[in-house]
């Protein structure tokens, strides 16, 4: 599971002056905030009325992502950065508020593969018909509605414009958050894949590349521990940084190296990191999960790292254990020459063409996030 916090937008959907929505939203946030802290979730309150979205006024259809108006761009950025939503909605004439429908209609890709929960309120039906209406719309946008909902019947819930204390209702609200966070984590691979271009040349169908960030430290730590055991055995030492680094140390170097991971179905299959030092392009931490070795993933990642070299770099530099004969043979077959070797480390280099410029694959390696 990613160490990145789950960002949840709590949407107050009614825009009517004096509406009950703000009070319900405040109760919800006050109730679930302690649990959100335990789950590593960030709650972001959003009142649709404050967005000042007119009725959809973009010339191009939302699926194009070509937005002309600043209000659309702001709304797009908010939704794109979110991992899930809880809509606090009343019921108007057996349906959801027009402002809620309008806010949904403004965007397309930004909603995809994110969970949405509902807290409804109303009279006879406690707002449940609004939720049923909304579910027809959100599923078309590839939002994933929760099974858990909270429905508040106004006559039984509200007194003097405030919600009466109710432990059972509070537990239901926490249950909505619990399910939303679990689903947000489960859907993260699908969200990522819609935001990255597929790695066309990878030997593994369905995989994709993404730049790794400090939020990926947990996955990187696990991959390193899996992959460098053979290095330790071959070189008869445990003094290998990839085996001994703490989570915080991994997080630190992920912030300074340009690191790319190959992913499939939410699993980190391989990685490589690069950076420039003077006129050398340094490549390191080339790793592939043990069960997928022999599929060309390591060679493919190495080629992408080489292609991404900055203009002006004269050579690629990498190192491996002095007794890591399999690695050394691999690098020799890829055009590397042994530069120096001692009791512990072998340094290898490969010249870059004088007119080298980063190609398409390299640009992906550097830019996809």
Reported as a single tens digit per residue, the pLDDT across 189-221 is 888 877 665 545 666 888 888 899 998 999 999
**Position with higher pLDDT, 358 vs 339:** 339
Q: Which strand ranges, in their side-by-side order, compose the sheet holding 315-321?
A: 208-211, 258-264, 267-277, 280-288, 315-321, 345-351, 337-341
Reported as a single tens digit per residue, the pLDDT across 89-100 is 999 999 999 999
CATH of 208-367, one of 1.20.58.220, 1.10.10.60, 3.40.630.30, 3.90.420.10: 3.40.630.30
How much is the pLDDT for 353? Answer: 84
pLDDT at residue 319 above 90? yes
**Position with higher pLDDT, 368 vs 101:** 101
**Any idea where the domains of the chain sit in the sequence?**
6-190, 208-367
Which helix (H) or strand (E) is 142 found in, with range?
none
Pairing of strands 267-277, 6-12: unpaired
pLDDT at residue 369 above 60? no
Range 228-248 average pLDDT:
92
Range 269-276 average pLDDT:
96
Reported as a single tens digit per residue, the pLDDT across 107-158 is 999 999 999 999 999 998 999 999 999 999 999 999 999 999 999 999 898 8
Percent of the chain with pLDDT over 70: 94
Range 166-175 average pLDDT:
95
How much is the pLDDT for 89? Answer: 97
Reported as a single tens digit per residue, the pLDDT across 42-61 is 999 999 999 999 999 999 99
How much is the pLDDT for 220? Answer: 96
Residue 41 CA to residue 347 CA, distance in Å, equals 44
Least confident of 1-15, 73-87, 170-184, 348-362: 348-362
Residue 76 CA to residue 8 CA, distance in Å, equals 15
CB atoms within 10 A of CB 191: 16
- Between 360-367 and 297-307, two packed helices, what is the crossing angle to 10 degrees? 90
Range 237-248 average pLDDT:
93
How much is the pLDDT for 362? Answer: 41
Q: What is the mean pLDDT of the chain?
A: 90
How much is the pLDDT for 360? Answer: 43
Architecture of domain 6-190: 3-Layer(aba) Sandwich (3.40)
Residue 287 CA to residue 298 CA, distance in Å, equals 7
* DSSP 3-state of 197: coil
- Tell the residue number behind the tokens 């599971």, with chain if given: 1
* CA contacts within 13 A on the Cβ side of 314: 3
CB atoms within 10 A of CB 182: 15
- Residue 172 burial by CB count (10 A; 0-12/13-18/19+): exposed, middle or buried? middle
| pLDDT band, very low/low/confident/very high, at 333 (cuts 50, 70, 90) | very high
Range 344-366 average pLDDT:
72
Could you tell me the CA-to-CA distances from 147 to 8, 38, 118, 177 in Å, in that order?
A: 17, 22, 9, 11
Closest CA to 158 of 134, 129, 130, 126: 126
Least confident of 24-28, 69-73, 162-166: 162-166
Cβ proximity of 301 and 274 under 8 Å? no
How much is the pLDDT for 265? Answer: 83
Cβ proximity of 269 and 296 under 8 Å? no
How much is the pLDDT for 367? Answer: 43
Residue 180 CA to residue 134 CA, distance in Å, equals 17
How much is the pLDDT for 18? Answer: 86
């Amino acid at each position: 599971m990613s160490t990145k916090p789950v960002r949840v937008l709590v949407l107050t959907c009614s825009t009517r002056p004096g509406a009950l929505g703000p009070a319900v939203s405040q109760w919800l946030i006050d109730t679930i905030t302690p649990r959100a802290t335990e789950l590593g979730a960030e709650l972001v309150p959003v009142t649709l009325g404050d967005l000042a979205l007119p009725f959809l006024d973009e010339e191009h259809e939302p699926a194009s992502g070509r937005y002309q108006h600043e209000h659309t761009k702001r709304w797009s950025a908010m939704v794109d950065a979110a991992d899930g939503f809880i809509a606090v909605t009343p019921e108007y004439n057996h349906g959801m508020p027009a402002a809620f429908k309008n806010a949904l209609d403004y965007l397309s890709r930004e909603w995809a593969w994110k969970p949405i929960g509902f807290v409804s309120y109303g009279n006879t039906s406690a707002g449940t018909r609004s939720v049923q209406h909304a579910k027809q719309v959100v599923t078309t946008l590839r939002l994933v509605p929760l099974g858990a909902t909270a429905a508040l019947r106004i006559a039984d819930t509200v007194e003097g414009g405030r919600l009466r204390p109710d432990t059972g209702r509070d537990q239901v609200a926490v249950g909505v958050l619990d399910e939303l966070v679990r689903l947000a984590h489960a859907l993260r691979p699908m969200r990522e894949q819609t935001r990255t271009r597929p790695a066309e040349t990878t030997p593994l169908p369905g995989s994709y590349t993404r730049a790794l960030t400090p939020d990926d430290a947990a996955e990187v730590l696990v991959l390193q521990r899996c992959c460098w055991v053979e290095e330790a055995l071959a070189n008869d030492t445990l003094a290998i940084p990839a085996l001994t680094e703490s989570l915080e140390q991994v997080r630190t170097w992920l912030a300074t190296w340009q690191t790319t991971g190959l992913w499939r179905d939410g699993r980190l299959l391989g990685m490589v990191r690069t950076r420039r030092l003077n006129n050398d392009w340094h490549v390191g931490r080339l790793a592939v999960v043990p069960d997928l070795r022999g599929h060309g993933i390591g060679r493919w990642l190495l080629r992408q790292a080489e292609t991404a070299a900055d203009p002006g770099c004269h050579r690629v530099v990498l190192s491996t254990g002095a007794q890591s004969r399999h690695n050394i043979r691999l690098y020799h077959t890829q055009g590397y020459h042994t530069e120096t070797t001692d009791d512990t480390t072998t340094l290898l280099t490969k010249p870059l063409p004088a007119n080298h410029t980063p190609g398409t694959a390299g640009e992906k390696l550097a830019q996809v996030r």
